[in-house]
Amino acid sequence: MSVPSAPAAAAAPRRLADPGALVPLSMAVLYLIWGSTYLAIHYALESYPPFTLAGLRFLVAGIVLYGFLRLRGLPVPTAVQWRNAAFTSVLLLGLGNGLICYAEQDVGSGVSAVAVASMPLFAALFEGLYGNWPSRQESLGLMVGFTGVIVLNLGSGLSGSRLGALALLTAAAAWALGSAWSRRHDMPPGPMNTAAQMLCGGIVLLLFGLLHGEQLPVHPTLRATLAIAYLALFGSIVAFSAYLYVLERARPALATSYAYVNPLVAVLLGVLVAGEQVGPLDLAGMAVIVSGVAVITLGKRRRAH
C-alpha cells in the first residue's frame, strides 16, 4: 500500500473540515438523532415518570454544556438574560418537551412526532401577533396543515387518548410561542443560550414532576437509564451542536428541514423497533401536515427574496 504524499495527506483534514462535507453530515445527525428521540422517550418511560425524565435529561445536559462553555471562556449570562432564558425554558422545555413525555405514556412515539410537526403552523400564527402576518401562500399552508392535524386526530393513534392529543398540540404551540418570544428579547449569546435554557428548564421540569407527585424509580431498568443518557448526550448536546453548525453555514431552510424528516424517522423507528401500529389516517395526517409546513416554508423563502 503506497503512502500518500505530504500535500495529499494535508488535503484530507481540509476536506473533512470543508463545510461542503460537514453540512450534509450534520444534517444526517439532525435527521436521525432528533427523529430517534421520540423512541428514546418511549423507552425511558418504562421506569421514569414523564416530567422527571425530561428534567433529568436537560439538567444533566445543561450542567455539562454550561461547564464546557465556561471552560472555553464564554461569559456568564447577565441577570436579564437568565430571566429571559428561564421564561423561555418554561415554554420550550417545560411545556414543549415535558408535555411530549407526558403524552407518550399513552400515544405512540411516531404519532407523537407527527403531532409535534405542527409546530411551524403555530409559529406562523404567533408571528402574526407580532405584526408579521402570513402571506397568502403561508395562509394556504396554515389551512392545509391544520387540516392535517384534524385528520391526525381522527386516526387510531390519537383518537384513543384525547388528553394525549391535547398535550401534544399544547406542546407544539408552547414551543412556537417560546421561539417567537425569545427572538425579540435579550437572550444569552450563541450556545450559552442553550446551556442556560437547559439548566433552567431542567429545574422547572423537576418542579413540575414534584408537583405532579412523581418520584425517582427505586430500580430503573438499564434500558430506561441508557435512554435518558442518550437523550442528554446525543439529543440535547450533539444534535443541537450540529444544528448550530448548519445554521451558521447553510440556508435556514436547510437547517429547519428536520421538521419534515423527523416525523418520518420517528414513525419508521416506532414501527420497526417498538412494534407500534400506525393506521391509514395517521399516515394521511402526517402527509397533509408535512405538506402544509412545506407550503409555509416556501412562502417564507419567497417573501424573503
**pLDDT, tens only, 149-206:** 778 777 666 656 788 889 998 998 998 888 888 888 999 988 899 899 999 999 999 9
Better pLDDT: 76 or 142: 76
CB 87 within 8 A of CB 196: no
- Say if residue 2's pLDDT is above 60: no
pLDDT of residue 180: 84
From the list 72, 114, 44, 130, the residue with the least C-alpha distance to 64 is 72
Report the distance separating Cα 90 and Cα 179, nearest Å.
Answer: 11
State pLDDT tens for residues 262-277: 888 888 898 889 888 7
Better pLDDT: 141 or 200: 200
The cell numbers describing 229, all together, are 443518557
pLDDT confidence tier of residue 16, bands split at 50, 70 and 90: very low
Report domain extents, the chain: 25-304
Q: Is 150 exposed, middle or buried (0-12, 13-18, 19+ CB in 10 A)?
A: exposed
